[in-house]
């Protein structure tokens, strides 16, 4: 009989213990006093990415086959047969971190028939070359063969203060053969700047 | 055994996830978060057209008769062909051209074999400063002659230079004299002989 009583006491104590534990776990809901605080609004602004590429006009006209001075780039500036275009890449209002830009080029050579008494022979768009130069250093070079949105420079840092200036040189490389098909041609070119924030390291 | 299989399965899954992560990292830019693009205006540059024009201003004297050539005092019985060579449409002040005289077949009379031959027709060429380019030469039945000798590159024999804004235009003058050399004998086969001389200019912008 005495033993039964002890068992009942143990059951009661167990129940009380478990109940106390539950109360402890859900704590605040059984608090006597409560308080709450909400901070002021914290604004979250996403960064802005902007890029503007501007290609200037050239003062050269009626260019003829010529040579490129790769030893002293600045010497090409005084060559009237090399068209020079100023390319500016502006970061605009970019404020996003880690932005970069790539440059692509699109160009074409539109030939025409010239009636100057010679059979037009020799010369094609592969003779028309470009050189992209920044601060006296050639960044990209190539010719006008199938020149459509060709990527020529990648991963250039872009910020809101970016005003990168390049010079794009366009010329007909003299190959000491007839290049008459290029007489009276119009060479067109445009530059495309693509800016982005890379996922890795961005 | 079952545990070992399960462990291998986990490893494979981790490898797949790792590889996917690596590929994503490698192609980076294509998964850019933000992007912007700008295409510049299209700009153009024109290439030159090289033109050369030869204009022959002849017939200052007609109905020539046998005479004696005197370089210092070219008489009126020499046919003077004045040519103007124009090179234009180029943007630089240098280039090269050649000038040739094309002479057709000369048909003379047949009065008598000793009364004049084609070779009695002579010609000589000078530039506008009076420099002799071709010394007195007998004409052949037909021939083509280079008028401006002295240069030897690619058949373009005469460098030109000029100054001024693009396009450059130059006008060079040349004179060809044609006469019948007086043989102090009958030259009746040459009476009323007529032929046309033509002149061809070829130009290049290359001076290499």
Q: Is A8 exposed, middle or buried (0-12, 13-18, 19+ CB in 10 A)?
A: exposed
Of the ranges A52-56, A179-183, B83-87, B135-139, the best mean pLDDT one: A52-56
Give the ipTM of the model, two decimals please: 0.74
Say whether B38 and A51 touch across the interface (CB within 8 A).
yes
Q: In whole angstroms, what is the distance from residue A166 CA to residue A148 CA?
A: 20
- Measured between beta carbons, the chain A residues lying within 8 angstroms of B164 are none
| Biggest distance spanned by C-alpha atoms of chain A | 135
Which of the four pLDDT bands, split at 50, 70 and 90, describes residue B152?
very low
Say whether B43 and A57 touch across the interface (CB within 8 A).
yes
Report yes or no: B45 at the A interface, CB cutoff 8 Å.
yes
- Measured between beta carbons, the chain A residues lying within 8 angstroms of B28 are 198-201
- Measured between beta carbons, the chain A residues lying within 8 angstroms of B42 are 188-190
Nearest CA-CA distance, residue A136 and chain B, Å = 22
Express each pLDDT in A81-139 by its tens digit. Answer: 899 999 999 999 998 888 999 999 999 999 887 766 666 678 999 999 999 999 999 99
Which of the four pLDDT bands, split at 50, 70 and 90, describes residue B134?
confident
* Domains of chain B as residue ranges with CATH: 51-204 (2.60.40)
Express each pLDDT in B98-114 by its tens digit. Answer: 778 888 888 888 888 88
Residue of B47, B95, B163 to mutate, testing the A interface (most A Cβ within 10 Å of its Cβ)? B47
- Measured between beta carbons, the chain A residues lying within 8 angstroms of B87 are none
Residues in chain B: 208
Q: Is A124 exposed, middle or buried (0-12, 13-18, 19+ CB in 10 A)?
A: middle
Express each pLDDT in B10-30 by its tens digit. Answer: 666 566 655 555 554 444 444
Token output for B5: 């299989």
> Would you say A79 and A170 are in contact if contact means Cβ atoms under 8 Å apart?
no
Say whether B37 and A198 touch across the interface (CB within 8 A).
no
In this complex, how many residue pairs, one in chain A and one in chain B, have their CB atoms less than 8 Å apart? 150
Nearest residue on chain A to B23, alpha-carbon basis: A200
Nearest CA-CA distance, residue B64 and chain A, Å = 33
Nearest CA-CA distance, residue A42 and chain B, Å = 23
pLDDT at A36: 80
Say whether A182 and B47 touch across the interface (CB within 8 A).
yes
- Measured between beta carbons, the chain A residues lying within 8 angstroms of B41 are 54-55, 190
Q: In whole angstroms, what is the distance from residue B5 CA to residue A52 CA?
A: 57
Higher per-residue confidence, A7 vs B129: B129
Nearest CA-CA distance, residue B41 and chain A, Å = 6
pLDDT at B188: 92
- Among B36, B89, B202, beta carbon nearest to A195: B36
pLDDT over 70 (residue B1): no
Nearest CA-CA distance, residue A17 and chain B, Å = 40
Say whether A61 and B45 touch across the interface (CB within 8 A).
yes
Q: Domain limits of chain A?
A: 1-35, 52-196
Q: What pTM was computed for the model? A: 0.67
- Measured between beta carbons, the chain B residues lying within 8 angstroms of A81 are 91-92
pLDDT in tens, chain A (202 residues): 555 566 677 776 777 666 655 655 554 455 567 778 787 887 777 788 999 999 999 988 888 889 999 999 999 999 988 999 999 999 999 988 889 999 999 999 998 877 666 666 789 999 999 999 999 999 999 999 999 999 999 999 999 999 999 999 999 998 888 888 898 899 999 999 999 987 654 4
What value does the mean pLDDT take over residues B44-63? 72
Nearest residue on chain B to A50, alpha-carbon basis: B36
What residues are paired with B123 via a beta bridge? B137, B178
Say whether A184 and B167 touch across the interface (CB within 8 A).
no
pLDDT at B175: 84
pLDDT at A67: 92
> Would you say B99 and B83 are in contact if contact means Cβ atoms under 8 Å apart?
yes
Smallest CA-to-CA distance from B68 within B120, B103, B116, B30 is with B120
pLDDT at B166: 46
Report yes or no: B163 at the A interface, CB cutoff 8 Å.
no
Class of domain A52-196: mainly beta
Say whether B47 and A200 touch across the interface (CB within 8 A).
no
pLDDT over 90 (residue B92): no
């Amino acid at each position: 009989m005495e033993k039964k009583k002890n068992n009942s006491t143990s059951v009661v104590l167990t129940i009380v213990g478990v109940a106390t534990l539950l109360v402890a776990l859900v704590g605040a809901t059984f608090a006597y006093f409560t308080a709450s605080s909400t901070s002021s609004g914290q604004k979250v602004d996403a960064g802005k990415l902007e890029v503007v590429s501007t290609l200037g006009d050239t003062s050269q006209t009626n260019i003829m086959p010529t040579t490129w001075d790769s030893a002293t780039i600045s010497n090409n500036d005084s060559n009237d047969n090399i068209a020079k275009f100023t390319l500016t890449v502006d970061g605009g209002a970019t404020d996003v971190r880690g932005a970069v830009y790539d440059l692509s080029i699109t160009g074409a050579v539109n030939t025409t028939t010239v009636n100057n008494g010679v059979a037009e022979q020799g010369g094609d768009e592969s003779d028309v070359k470009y050189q992209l130069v920044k601060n006296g250093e050639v960044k990209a070079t190539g010719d006008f063969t199938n020149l459509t949105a060709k990527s020529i420079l990648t991963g250039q840092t872009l910020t809101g203060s970016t005003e990168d200036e390049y010079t794009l040189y366009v010329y007909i490389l003299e190959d000491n053969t007839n290049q008459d098909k290029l007489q009276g041609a119009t060479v067109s070119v445009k530059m495309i700047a693509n800016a982005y924030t890379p996922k890795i390291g961005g | 055994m079952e545990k070992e299989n399960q462990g291998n399965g986990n490893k494979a899954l981790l490898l797949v996830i790792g590889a996917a992560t690596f590929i994503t990292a490698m192609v980076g830019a294509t998964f850019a978060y933000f992007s912007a693009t700008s295409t510049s205006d299209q700009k153009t540059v024109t290439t030159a057209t090289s033109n050369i024009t030869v204009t022959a201003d002849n017939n200052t004297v007609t109905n020539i008769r046998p005479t004696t050539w005197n370089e210092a005092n070219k008489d009126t019985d020499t046919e003077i062909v004045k040519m103007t060579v124009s090179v234009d449409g180029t943007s630089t002040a240098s280039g090269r051209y050649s000038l040739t005289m094309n002479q057709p077949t000369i048909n003379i009379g047949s009065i008598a074999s000793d009364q004049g031959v084609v070779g009695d027709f002579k010609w000589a060429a000078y530039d506008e400063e009076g420099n002799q380019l071709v010394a007195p030469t007998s004409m052949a039945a037909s021939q083509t002659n280079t008028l401006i000798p002295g240069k030897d590159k690619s058949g373009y024999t005469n460098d030109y230079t000029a100054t001024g804004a693009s396009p450059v235009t130059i006008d060079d003058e040349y004179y060809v004299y044609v006469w019948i050399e007086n043989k102090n004998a009958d030259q009746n086969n040459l009476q009323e002989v007529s032929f046309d001389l033509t002149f061809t200019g070829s130009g290049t912008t290359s001076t290499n």
